[in-house]
Amino acid sequence: MTVFWLNYLQYAMTSYAQHRYLGTLPSREDFAEVLLHTPDVMDSGLWKRYYGRELMLFNPRARESWVSPDIQALPCSVNSIQSGELLEDASQMESSLLIKFALKIVQSTSSTNLRRGAIIKQSLSPLQTSIIRMRASKPTIPPYSDTKAYFWIQFVHAAYEALQPASAKDVSRTTGWHGHMNTLTFPAFQALFDVAGDEWRSYYSQPLWDSIEARIKFVSPDKRRLPNLISMPPLPAESKSHAPMVRKSSLGISMTKKMPSPASLSVMVAAVCDAAALSESDSPDPDVKTHADLIVFLYDTLVAQIPTGPVSDDSLAAMTKRRRDLRRRVDEALRVSGPSVEGATHKMFWIQQVLVAAEQVEGSCSSIDSFMNSNPHLAYKGLPLMYYSERALRSRQAMEVYVPPDRRALPNGSRGLVMLED
């Protein structure tokens, strides 16, 4: 009985991992989703489908060791997938990756002065690398295509334009969506616009979509022009309850405890680098409006002006001077304010992250581009939630003073810990 349940749980986990293209077994946090994907696991009498009562309960050999089922074989997640389904899943996997990438591009550039073209150009190479790696383990996934990437960016941008009310009285036309584009998750985007992943068929023929030319460079559609605006399908009256679910799913971008994919991180890194390139002031501005602005400010304040190479003078006086200079820089960094960083704990977390990152990549901090490419995790604004629970991070105490993480310990670093020791 024990081995049966272990076997079936393994089947449920691998089946869920294949369905979600995880690449690894699900984590503990995914357990509820695994149960929803394979609800049979919650059936206490499930074993009766595979074993007769006499064999399972009264056979001495079944009590002492594993015996094979006598009714039907146990399920196998690999054998249950047919070749046709593999091709369909590979196509869905490709479209999901490209839509997520496009969503991140639009989110990084919407309501900002960042240059979308520069961010796209810097992010396409990591996207291509991600697809190559995926094809190594799943060869049925189509090769990288410039046309496909640009199509989905245009498609998501057109959808974003549809979310913008033309006037105050048009706000209701978003049929239940009242959030900011940056909080819109992939599942919520799919639900709002009923995205299936094959929308390209309305614009491209299959031969052109899969052509070599389309892979190498962007080619215009041969059926009709790319959309400037995408209408959101209206919700029928009996489906109004769907709207709160969409709003709830949109919170996923700030609730996730996992790092984004390398392709998504590359977009975030590009946004930070572009924000730095567009910065016109010689002195860092502590009033930040976006996460990219926050990282640029902390880099300029903590990293760009503090020596990170080998220390030639290790005398007590020199060490005291360096320590005093670091404290002064940290005090300057603590002046940061804005919607991207609220509360003492939030500020201290990002200061510590930047200092530890600078210490670990000494010699690679000569420019913010090299610094961010060595530390792409800093571009992820949801990073604090990998260390703090939402409740702890937004508590009154965390707003007023620094509180340690309640999920896992922060990485150590001599510079990063200076500010926490006193």
Q: What's the rounded Cα separation, in Å, for the pair 82 and 102?
A: 30
Per-residue confidence band for 28, with pLDDT thresholds at 50, 70 and 90: confident
Task: Give SS3 for 72.
Answer: coil
Read off the tokens for 56. 């399972």
pLDDT tens digit sequence for 39-77:
888 888 888 888 888 888 888 888 888 888 888 887 765
How far the first Cα of the chain sits from its last, in Å, is: 56
The model's pTM: 0.53
In what helix (H) or strand (E) does residue 225 lie, and over which residues does it extend?
none
* CB crowding 371-398: b at 16 or more within 10 Å, else e: bbbebbebbbbbbbbebbeeebbebeeb
* Per-residue model confidence (pLDDT) at position 422: 43
Instruction: Look at 43 and 91; give whichever has higher pLDDT.
Output: 43
Packing angle between helix 146-163 and helix 186-193, nearest 10 degrees? 70
pLDDT of residue 157: 86
| CB-based contact 109:290 (threshold 8 Å) | no
- 288 neighbors 272 (Cβ within 8 angstroms): no
Give the integer Cα–Cα distance in Å for 259 and 263: 11
